[in-house]
Amino acid sequence: MPQLALRIGVVGAGGIVRSNHIPGFRAQPECAVVAVCNRSKESGEKVAKEFNIPDVETDWKKLVARKDLNVIVVGTWPYMHKDVTVAALKAGKHVLCESRMALNAAHAHAMLKAAKDGKKKHGLVTMLCPPPLGFRGDYVMKELVASGILGKPYQLYVRHIGTGALDSHKPIFWRQQLKYQGLNALTLGMLNEPVERWFGPTTKVLAASKIFTPKRPEAPGSSKMVKVERPDAISALAEMKNGMLATYMFSGVTLHPGPNVVEAWGCAGMIRYVLDGDRIFCARLGDKEPAEILIPPEKARTWQVEAEFVAAIREGKPVSPNFEEGTAYMEFTEAVERSSKSGKAVKLLL
């Protein structure tokens, strides 16, 4: 039986699109990347030349409307995700969208509604690009938590820190600007997504955030200063549906940061996932110290994003993260933002 030929258009050919998505799709049978639209004609032509892509469009709306395409890859910054995704789904195209789903929860819900409509009317598939954090050990973590090793779950600690914002003279990065990044902050949503997949949804958040360098140079060597609009550090307390009390720590201003971890404790055991190096440790009540749980090759989640997306289109296989999961982490991200501004706890709608 012949396979459905997939003709792919790319809107926004950033680093992950060039390093992963375009080569990944070209490795699949009967898949071709045939058009690209980037921030400028020149950058689009550069990508087209690099990957031998036949067509370069200068208007993403024109690309999305093309009758010869049936898949759109949305590789732009978050500020364009909603508009491109909704337009592509209305045009009858399957959509793979980069992570950090949208500017805010309202945009995420609009994307989710369009995805549900597109699936119902035309069988369209939507998927978000998974974040790298916790990726390799994803399947093992789900198995460990489901096994009941924790017993009754008590507490959760999530830490992801670094030095990216420590230099106050460093020019502003687009992720520090609200108009491009939206309410996404640091790696908050990117880690909440696997955490909720392993431990379940969040019900309430109390958070604080801080911008330590309020203005940065517009560009290297520039004297023009630009306002920083996304936090350099976030601390949050959260309650989860399973009864756990969670503590989140995110920072870009930590000198000599220690390991980034997800740790869970319960009445009968503990799990520690060291994100740097993807190492998992466990202990049961009575153990002298945690023992490392090696991730066997057959259970290691490897990069198969494009193959999984294609299989979902051709065979109806499920994908993860899907738009429901993305909307959930956008709700969490927005709750953190609202709590940081109000100083009050924010309940999440489940």
Model pLDDT for residues 278-320, shown as the tens digit of each residue? 999 999 999 999 999 999 999 999 999 999 999 999 999 999 9
Q: Which two tokens stand for residue 118?
A: 């597109």
Domains of the chain: total: 2
My answer on whether 187 and 286 are in the same domain is: yes
Region 94-118: mean pLDDT is 97
Q: Where are the beta strands (DSSP E) in 79-212?
A: 94-97, 126-128, 153-161, 202-210
Q: Mind listing the pLDDT tens digit for each residue in 261-282?
A: 999 999 999 999 999 999 999 9
Tell whether 53 and 201 lie within a shared domain.
no
- Tell me: do 100 and 208 sit in the same domain: no
Identify the H or E element spanning 37.
Answer: strand 31-37
- Rounded distance between C-alpha atoms, residue 315 and residue 124, angstroms: 12
Query: How do residues 221-259 score in pLDDT, each as one tens digit?
Result: 999 999 999 999 999 999 999 999 999 999 999 999 999
Give the CA-trace dihedral at 83, 87, 89, 93, to 10 degrees.
Answer: -120
What CATH number does the domain containing 215 carry? Answer: 3.30.360.10
Q: Could you say which of 74, 99, 129 is where a domain stops?
A: 129
Strands 245-251 and 153-161: parallel
* Sequence-ordered list of residues with C-beta below 8 angstroms from that of 234, at least 6 positions apart, any chain: 185, 186, 188, 207, 208, 209, 248, 249, 250, 251, 336, 340
Percent of the chain with pLDDT over 90: 98
The pLDDT assigned to 313 comes to: 97
* Tokens 């994003």 sit on residue: 305
Q: What are residue 136's phi and psi, to 5 degrees? A: -65, -35
- Which comes out higher in pLDDT, residue 114 or 349? 114
Q: In this structure, are 108 and 170 located in the same domain?
A: no
Q: Which two tokens stand for residue 286?
A: 């009575």
Q: What is the pLDDT of residue 4?
A: 80
CA dihedral over 61, 63, 66, 69, signed as positive or negative: negative
Of 186, 157, 160, 126, which is closest to residue 266 (Cα–Cα)?
157
Within this chain, do residues 111 and 151 fall inside the same structural domain, yes or no?
A: no
pTM, 2 dp: 0.95
Question: How would you list the strands of the sheet with 291-293, edge to edge?
Answer: 291-293, 279-284, 269-274, 261-266, 153-161, 245-251, 233-240, 202-210, 346-347
Q: Which residues contact 341 (CB under 8 A, 6 or more apart)?
A: none
Q: What pLDDT sits at residue 3?
A: 74
Q: Is the pLDDT at 108 greater than 90, yes or no? A: yes
Q: Are 191 and 237 contained in the same domain?
A: yes
Helix (H) or strand (E) holding 71: strand 71-74
Q: How far is CA 89 from the centre of its chain?
A: 20
Domain of 18? 6-129
156 and 259, same structural domain? Answer: yes
Tell me: do 121 and 101 sit in the same domain.
yes
Mean pLDDT of 2-7: 84
Task: Say if residue 181's pLDDT is above 90.
Answer: yes
Domain boundary pick from 85, 109, 129: 129
Residue 308 belongs to some domain of the structure: no
